[in-house]
Structure 1
């Protein structure tokens, strides 16, 4: 295997991981920011107030994005399997 092929595969894998993680983290980040602004405006210092909405949004993002994420992972896996003969041989 040439280094260029390995770097290309590694770059594709890291990009896939980045996209899948961002699909779950970004909605949670946005909700956390909204709740933090609300807490600052009302002077509420309750820690569980920011935790529960982020947890719910993260679970909902996983529920609605799981099919898309697994499809992307399966496409990546199939492309890796298809590349085995050209990389090894």
Structure 2
């Protein structure tokens, strides 16, 4: 397998990973910022206050976007498995 092919496969894998994880990470980031703003305004410094809303947001996004994430990952895996004979030396 040529080095360029390996880099291309790694790049495709990283872009797929970034695209699939972006909705969950974005939601958790927004909730974390809102909770931090709330804590700064009210001067409540409770560590568990930020954990539960982030967990709920992550679960909600996974429920909403989970089927798309699974389809995207399965399609990527299918493309990689079908491309294996091309890269076999």
TM over 0.5: yes
> Matched residue pairs, number?
89
C-alpha separation in 1, matches of 2:47 and 2:4: 48
RMSD over aligned Cα atoms: 1.3
Aligned to 1:46: 46
Matches within 5 A, 1:14-25: 14-25=14-25
Q: Extract unaligned runs of 5+ from structure 1.
A: none
Name structure 2 gaps, 5 residues minimum.
Answer: none
Q: Which residue of 1 aligns with 2:37?
A: 37
Cα deviation for residue 22 of structure 1 reads 2.1
TM-score of the pair, normalised by structure 1: 0.90
Distance across 1 between alignment mates of 2:26 and 2:32: 10
Paired with 1:70 and 1:63, the residues of 2 have a C-alpha distance of 11
After superposing on structure 2, the runs of 4+ consecutive aligned residues of structure 1 that deviate more than 6 Å are: none
CA distance in 1, matches of 2:26, 2:66: 15
Q: Which has the higher contact order (CA 8 A, sep 6+)?
A: 2
Query: If the length of structure 2 is used for normalisation, what is the TM-score?
Result: 0.90
